[in-house]
C-alpha cells in the first residue's frame, strides 16, 4: 500500500504537523508512506496557497499512489490530487477545523462554500473531533459510512526528554516560574488574551516563553511591549519539536486558550495532549473538547481574568500529573492510532 500525505497549509502550521505525524506513524506501522512537505512558510494574504498549488501540480505530475491523505480541503492540494485520482488513487480528505469560522464576512462565506465543494472530491473523510464528525455527516449525506475518526494524537517517544536538558532549561530561568505556550501565531492563536491574563497575575516571578512563528508574531511582540510585558515574555520563534518538548517538560504551567466561539467547539488541541504527556500542569479554557479533559487541567471560562485565576491556581497546586500522562499514553498514541488506521485503509483498498 503506497500512501501520500499532503498538507494544504504551510510547513510551520499545526495542520502540517498533524500531516507529518500521520505519515510518520503510518510508515512505522508498515505502510509505504510518503510525506511531501509544504514548500513554504505562511505568507501574508495566503500567498503560500497559490504558490504551493503550482509546486504540487509539478511535483505530482508523474506520481502514482494507492491513496492520498490531504490535510484540509483547499484547492492547492485537492486539485493537484485529482491527477492521482484519475490514475486510481483514493482521495482521503482530513477536515480538522471549521476554517471559515476564523474569518468573517465575504471571506468566511467564500472559504465555507469552497471547502464544501472540495470535500465532495474525496472518497473518504477523516476528522478528529466528535462534534465535527457529526456536523460533517449532517452536511454530507453521500459520505454515510465513509467518515473516519482519526484522533488527534501525540508522538509518545518525542516526550521521553533528556532530563539534563530539562534541568538546564530550568536553571536558565532560575528564580522564575515558567509559563509556556506553543502555537502557530496566526488568526487562531489568541495570544492577545494570554498576554492580558499574564498582565493580570500581578507577579514579578513569572516568565512567559512562546514557541512558534507565524504572520502575527510581530503584532504579538508589539502587544507585549504595549502591555509592559517585554521583560516577562520571550519569543523563541519556530523551534524543532524536540526543543519544544524540552520546554514543555521544564515549564511550571503550560497554557491553552480558546475563545468561546463556534469554531473552537470543533477543534482538537494537539498542544493540550502534548502538555499533559510532558507531565505539566496545564491551564486551559473549558471550550469545546477541552471539557473532556477538565479533570486533568486547571480550567476556566474564556476570559483573561478567569484564565489568570486558573494560572495562579496551577502555580500554587501540588497536583500530580501522572494520571493525565497515563491517560494520554493510553488513548492518544500515534503508534496505536496508525495501526487502526492502516487496517481501515487496507479494508478500503483491498475489499
Domain ranges of the chain: 2-153+333-350, 156-330
Q: What is the pLDDT of residue 266?
A: 94
Of the candidates 75, 71, 61, 115, the residue with the CA atom closest to the CA atom of residue 92:
71
DSSP letters of 60-91? Answer: TTT---SEEEEES--HHHHHHHHHHHTTTPEE
Nearest to residue 101, comparing CAs of 263, 268, 289?
A: 263
Strands 253-256 and 177-182: what pairing? parallel
Report pLDDT for 257: 98
Please give the helix or strand (H or E) that residue 51 lies within, else none: helix 47-59
Output the pLDDT for position 285. Answer: 98
Task: Give the pLDDT score at 101.
Answer: 84
Q: What pLDDT score does 44 carry?
A: 80
State the residue for C-alpha cell 509546486. Answer: 55
Query: Within 10 A of 348 (CB to CB), how many other CB atoms are there?
Result: 17
CATH number of the structural domain 2-153+333-350 = 3.40.50.2000
Strand order in the sheet with 177-182: 233-237, 206-211, 177-182, 253-256, 281-285, 298-300
Q: Do domains 2-153+333-350 and 156-330 have the same CATH topology?
A: yes
* pTM exceeding 0.85: yes
Q: Where are the beta strands (DSSP E) in the chain?
A: 2-7, 32-36, 67-71, 90-94, 124-127, 147-149, 177-182, 206-211, 233-237, 253-256, 281-285, 298-300
Tell me the C-alpha distance between 349 and 351, whole Å: 6
Class of domain 156-330 as given by CATH: alpha beta
pLDDT digits (tens), the chain, 351 positions: 999 999 999 898 889 999 999 999 999 999 999 999 999 888 887 888 999 999 999 999 999 999 999 999 999 999 999 999 999 999 999 999 888 888 889 989 999 999 999 999 999 999 999 999 999 999 999 999 999 999 999 999 998 888 899 999 999 999 999 999 999 898 889 999 999 999 999 899 999 999 999 889 999 999 999 999 999 999 999 999 999 999 999 999 999 999 999 999 999 999 999 999 998 899 999 999 999 999 999 999 999 999 999 999 999 998 887 899 999 999 999 999 999 999 999 998 887
Amino acid at each position: 500500500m503506497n500512501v501520500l500525505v499532503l498538507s494544504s497549509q504551510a510547513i510551520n502550521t499545526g495542520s502540517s504537523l498533524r500531516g507529518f505525524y500521520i505519515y510518520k506513524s503510518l510508515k512505522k506501522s508498515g505502510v509505504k508512506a510518503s510525506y511531501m512537505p509544504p514548500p513554504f512558510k505562511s505568507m501574508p494574504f495566503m500567498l503560500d496557497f497559490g504558490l504551493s498549488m503550482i509546486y504540487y501540480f509539478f511535483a505530482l505530475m508523474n506520481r502514482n499512489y494507492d491513496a492520498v491523505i490531504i490535510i484540509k480541503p483547499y484547492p492547492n492540494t485537492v486539485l493537484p490530487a485529482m491527477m492521482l485520482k484519475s490514475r486510481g488513487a483514493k482521495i482521503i480528505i482530513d477536515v480538522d477545523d471549521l476554517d471559515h469560522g476564523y474569518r468573517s464576512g465575504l471571506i468566511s462565506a467564500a472559504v465555507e462554500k469552497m471547502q464544501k465543494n472540495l470535500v465532495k472530491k474525496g472518497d473518504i473523510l477523516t476528522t478528529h473531533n466528535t462534534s465535527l464528525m457529526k456536523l460533517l455527516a449532517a452536511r454530507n449525506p453521500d459520505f454515510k459510512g465513509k467518515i473516519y475518526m482519526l484522533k488527534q494524537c501525540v508522538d509518545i517517544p518525542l516526550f521521553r526528554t533528556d532530563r539534563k536538558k530539562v534541568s538546564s532549561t530550568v536553571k536558565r530561568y532560575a528564580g522564575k516560574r515558567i509559563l509556556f505556550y506553543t502555537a502557530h501565531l496566526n488568526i487562531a492563536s489568541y495570544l492577545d488574551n494570554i498576554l492580558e491574563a499574564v498582565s493580570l497575575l500581578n507577579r514579578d516571578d513569572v516568565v512567559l516563553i512562546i514557541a512558534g512563528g507565524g504572520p502575527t508574531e510581530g503584532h504579538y511582540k508589539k502587544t507585549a511591549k504595549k502591555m509592559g510585558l517585554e521583560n516577562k515574555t520571550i519569543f523563541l520563534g519556530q523551534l524543532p519539536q524536540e526543543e519544544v518538548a524540552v520546554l514543555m517538560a521544564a515549564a511550571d504551567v503550560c497554557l491553552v486558550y480558546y475563545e468561546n466561539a463556534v469554531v473552537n467547539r470543533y477543534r482538537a488541541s494537539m498542544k493540550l495532549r502534548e502538555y499533559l504527556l510532558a507531565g505539566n500542569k496545564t491551564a486551559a479554557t473549558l471550550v469545546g473538547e477541552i471539557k473532556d479533559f477538565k479533570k486533568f487541567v486547571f480550567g476556566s471560562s474564556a476570559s483573561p481574568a478567569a484564565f489568570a485565576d486558573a494560572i495562579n491556581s496551577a502555580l500554587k497546586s501540588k497536583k500530580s500529573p501522572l494520571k493525565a500522562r497515563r491517560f494520554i499514553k493510553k488513548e492518544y498514541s500515534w503508534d496505536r492510532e496508525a495501526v487502526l488506521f492502516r487496517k481501515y485503509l487496507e479494508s478500503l483498498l483491498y475489499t
